[in-house]
Structures are given as structure tokens and as C-alpha cells.
């Protein structure tokens, strides 16, 4: 195996520190305990300064008792597994970690949901992301095309590999599960994060990135952790803006875009890694429906859409901070319709390339926050 992952030693030390403290507590004949931040929505707040959801100060103590003995043992075993991964520069998916536990005898997990929960606990305990512990999610996600060269390394030799994303034709670069060690080279003007694979394919097919000098990223719905982390690292390192192009409906705004920008509520302990605070919302906005005459290509808001929109207005800490968003969402509720990225096909299949995007990109300062 190649050279050790960056920061692996630091994580290892944290784990050893925690274990040592538990060991000393036991020797003092007291019950050891783990202090975990509470990962629920009421322990989350939106920090506009950093631009993402942060976890609050509430913590729960998991003290070792008869009832918690199993979970406590499992947490320690999970920490031990992480150390093994870090030392061996290996990775394990969540599912694999679950299977590794099958060798733990009575402390084995019966369901993956249990091992996932313990993994989340360990992640929160050390305030690192799962990938830093050597664990990777099951899901991949995100394709890239355009003015970008990704720099990876050969796992055997450790030699740098330059991956030129302008040279994939109709195909694309598939973002790996763990992106921590990737490097980037680009002179693109912006990153366009696109909701649907279909729209991505249209823009790729027509080499839109060439005309617009940009990087196209297909999110395929709510972006995965890897995809968010990829955009974040790219945008941070190369200092380029990120524009989101998603459906103009409550799901597109409050799930896809909001997760991209500020992270998700129930993973607040790791949002600082997995969000893109510099993202801005290109479209489709309710106002676009009027300006681009899309009225007859809209769909009425369903019960669930309206509920989602109202929830966001009254509960989402991000939306509640941003007046512009409140106005846009209220406008949508008032119009009673939602609009999709593909709706421009109504005018002409390439209207989106020929008219919509160029017109919008002339005034990025008007994008919603």
C-alpha cells in the first residue's frame, strides 16, 4: 500500500486518547462514559458567518451500565476497527464494517442500522468525518465534465494521475467515494452543479462547458457526501464560484440546494466538511417562470409541496435567515406551481443552452443566496 492518508495520525491519536481516558477511569473503579453531541434537529443552528448548519452544545453522556454495555463495547470495537483501517491505509464501507462485526461474537451487530448509528456516534465523538476514520459510504454519486483536471494517485505506486475532464466525450468522470486526497487543476470561471443526469447529458453533449468555460457537475438529486465534499474542496482550493441549477420546486430548493449549501440537519456534526457555503442559486426561480414564459410547462404544487414549503418558511434555520428566499418561496406558493429544469424544452430542446443559461449567467449577482 502507498503512503499513509493525510491526517491519519491525528485521528489515530484522538482515538487512543479517548481509549486511554476510559482505561484510567476504569482503573479508578468508576464507570467510564462517552460524551456525544446530540444529533437531532433541535441541536442544530445555522451559522451565517460560516455559512452552514452547526451542531449545538447539547451532549449526551453514554455511561457504561448493564443496559449500555453492548453499545459501549460496540463503540470501542468500532474505534478499534478504525485504528486498524488507519494503520493499514484501508477503507471499509458501512456495510463492510457491519460484516466485520460478525467476527465480534456477542458484540456483533444484528442490523446495519445499528452499526451505522455507532459509526455516527464515533464520528461525532471525534468531530471528524467518517472518511477520516477510514469508513466510506455505500453510495457513490456525482459526475464531472468540463474544464478540470483531477489529480489522483496510483494506489500501487503513489504516482500522480492527471485526469482531464475535457476529454470524456459524452461520458464523464465519476467522483470516487472518498475525495479527501484529490488535487485539482483548473481555470474554469465557475462550477455548475446540476440536479438531473438528463440536463447534465444535454450540456455535455453540446459542450456547454467549452462555451461557458466552466465545470459541470451532475448531482443526480440530493448530492451525496462525496459529491458535496468534491465541490467544496474544488471551490475552496481553486477559489471559484458554485452555481446550482435545480428544479424550481420546494424539493429542489429546500432539499437539494439547501443540503448542497449548508448541509443536512441530522448530520450537523460533520456539515463543516460536507457543505458548500459559497454555492448560489442560479435557477429555476419562480420569477423565471414569468420571465421565460414557462407558465404552461409548470405543474400545480401538490399538498406535500406546499407543506414542505411552509415547513421551510417556519422551521428551516437557513431559510429563516434569508429574506430573499422567503420571498421566493412565498411567490411560489402564491403562484401555486412548480417548474423543472427540463421545462425549457417547451420552447426548444436547446433553449436552455442558447437562451436561458447565457442570459442568467450575465448577472450572477442576482442569483438567490
Partner 1 sequence: MLSIRRRVHTDAARREAGTMRKRKRRPPRAKGKAAAGGRRPGRVRTPSELGENGMDLHQEEIAYQMAVRQREISVSEFFTKNRHLLGFDNPKKALLTTVKEAVDNSLDACEDAKIIPELKIDLRQIGEDRFRVAVEDNGPGIVKAQVPKVFGKLLYGSKFHTLKQARGQQGIGISAAGMYGQLTTGQPVRITSRIGPRKPAHYFEIRIDTQKNAPEIIRDEETAWDSPHGTRVEIELEGKYQKGRQSVESYLEQVSLANPHVRILYRDPEGEGVVLPRAANVLPREPREIKPHPYGVELGVLMQMLKTTGARHLKSFLTRDFSRVGSKVAREICARAGLSETAWPSRIAREESDKLSRAINSTKIMSPPTDCLSPIGEELILAALKKQIKAVFYEATSRAPSVYRGNPFLIEVGLAWGGPAAAAGDGDEDPLASLVRFANRVPLLYQQSACAITKAVIGTNWRAYGLAQARGALPSGPLTVMVHMASVWVPFTSESKEAIAHYPEIMKEVRLGLQDVGRKLKAFLSRRARIADAEKKKAYIEKYLPHIGAALRDILALRKPQEARVVRILTRVLEKSRKMD
Task: Give the residues lining the site for partner 1 (CB under 8 A).
Answer: 15-16, 19-20, 22-23, 26-27, 29-31, 64-70, 72-74, 76-77, 79-80, 83-84, 104-107
Nearer of residues 73 and 297 to partner 1, judged by Cβ: 73
3-state secondary structure of 369: coil
Checking phi first, is residue 159 left (phi over 0); if not, alpha (psi -120 to 50) or beta? beta
All three cell numbers of 302, joined, read 401538490
- Residue 99 binding: pick among a copy of itself, partner 1, none (C-beta 5-8 Å cut-off by kind): a copy of itself
Q: Residue 77 Cβ, how far from partner 1 at the closest point, in Å?
A: 5
Nearer of residues 224 and 254 to a copy of itself, judged by Cβ: 224
Q: Residue 88 Cβ, how far from partner 1 at the closest point, in Å?
A: 13
Is residue 278 involved in binding a copy of itself (CB under 8 A)? Answer: no
Nearer of residues 204 and 262 to a copy of itself, judged by Cβ: 204
3-state secondary structure of 139: coil
Cα four-point dihedral sign 9, 102, 224, 213: positive
- Residue 80 binding: pick among partner 1, a copy of itself, none (C-beta 5-8 Å cut-off by kind): partner 1
How many whole angstroms separate alpha carbon 183 and alpha carbon 143? 16
Among 45, 60, 70, 206, binds a copy of itself (CB under 8 A): 206
| Cβ–Cβ < 8 Å for 156, 2 | yes
Q: Among residues 191, 193, 196, 239, which one has the least CA distance to residue 213?
A: 191
Nearer of residues 119 and 343 to a copy of itself, judged by Cβ: 343
Q: Which stretch binds a copy of itself (CB under 8 A): 64-72, 176-184, 186-194, 317-325?
A: 176-184
How many whole angstroms separate alpha carbon 192 and alpha carbon 282? 9
- Residue 359 binding: pick among partner 1, a copy of itself, none (C-beta 5-8 Å cut-off by kind): none
All three cell numbers of 164, joined, read 482531464
Active site residues: 99
Distance of CA 34 to CAs 49, 75, 127, 196, Å? 30, 9, 13, 42
Q: Which stretch binds a copy of itself (CB under 8 A): 64-72, 186-194, 255-263, 347-355?
A: 347-355
Is residue 161 involved in binding a copy of itself (CB under 8 A)? Answer: yes
Q: Please, what is the angle between helix 8-27 and helix 112-126, to 10°?
A: 100
| Cβ–Cβ < 8 Å for 256, 287 | no
Q: What is the DSSP letter of 256?
A: I
Name the site residues for a copy of itself (rule: CB under 8 A).
Answer: 85, 90-100, 102-103, 136, 138-140, 143, 150, 152-156, 161-163, 167-178, 181-182, 196-202, 204-207, 210, 218, 220, 296-297, 340, 342-347, 349-350
Amino acid at each position: 500500500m502507498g503512503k499513509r492518508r493525510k491526517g491519519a495520525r491525528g485521528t489515530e491519536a484522538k482515538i487512543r486518547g479517548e481509549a486511554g481516558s476510559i482505561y484510567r477511569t476504569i482503573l479508578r473503579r468508576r464507570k467510564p462514559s462517552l460524551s456525544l453531541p446530540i444529533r437531532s434537529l433541535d441541536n442544530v443552528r445555522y451559522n451565517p458567518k460560516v455559512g452552514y448548519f452547526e451542531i449545538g452544545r447539547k451532549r449526551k453522556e453514554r455511561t457504561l451500565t448493564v443496559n449500555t454495555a453492548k453499545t459501549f463495547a460496540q463503540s470501542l470495537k468500532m474505534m478499534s476497527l478504525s485504528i486498524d483501517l488507519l494503520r493499514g491505509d484501508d477503507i471499509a464501507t458501512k456495510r463492510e464494517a457491519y460484516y466485520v462485526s460478525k467476527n465480534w461474537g456477542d458484540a456483533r451487530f444484528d442490523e446495519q442500522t445499528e452499526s451505522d448509528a455507532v459509526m455516527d456516534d464515533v464520528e461525532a465523538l471525534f468531530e471528524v468525518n467518517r472518511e477520516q476514520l477510514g469508513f466510506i459510504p455505500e453510495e457513490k454519486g456525482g459526475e464531472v465534465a468540463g474544464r478540470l483536471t483531477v489529480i489522483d494517485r496510483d494506489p500501487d505506486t503513489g504516482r500522480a494521475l492527471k485526469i482531464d475532464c475535457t476529454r470524456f466525450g459524452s461520458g464523464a468522470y465519476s467522483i470516487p467515494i472518498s475525495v479527501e486526497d484529490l488535487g485539482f487543476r483548473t481555470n474554469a470561471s465557475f462550477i455548475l452543479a446540476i440536479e438531473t443526469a438528463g440536463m447534465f447529458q444535454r450540456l455535455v453533449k453540446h459542450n456547454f462547458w467549452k462555451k461557458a468555460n466552466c465545470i459541470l457537475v451532475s448531482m443526480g438529486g440530493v448530492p451525496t457526501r462525496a459529491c458535496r465534499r468534491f465541490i467544496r474542496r474544488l471551490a475552496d482550493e481553486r477559489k471559484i464560484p458554485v452555481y446550482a441549477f435545480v428544479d424550481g420546486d420546494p424539493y429542489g430548493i429546500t432539499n437539494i440546494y439547501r443540503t448542497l449549501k449548508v448541509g443536512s440537519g441530522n448530520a450537523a456534526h460533520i456539515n463543516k466538511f460536507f457543505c458548500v457555503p459559497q454555492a448560489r442559486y442560479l435557477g429555476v426561480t419562480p420569477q423565471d417562470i414569468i420571465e421565460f414564459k414557462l407558465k404552461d410547462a409548470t405543474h400545480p404544487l401538490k399538498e406535500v409541496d406546499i407543506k414542505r414549503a411552509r415547513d421551510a418558511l417556519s422551521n428551516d434555520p437557513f431559510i429563516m435567515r434569508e429574506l430573499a428566499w422567503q420571498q421566493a418561496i412565498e411567490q411560489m406558493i402564491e403562484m401555486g406551481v412548480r417548474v423543472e429544469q427540463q421545462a425549457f424544452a417547451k420552447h426548444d430542446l436547446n433553449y436552455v443552452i442558447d437562451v436561458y443559461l447565457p442570459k442568467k449567467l450575465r448577472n450572477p449577482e442576482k442569483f438567490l443566496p
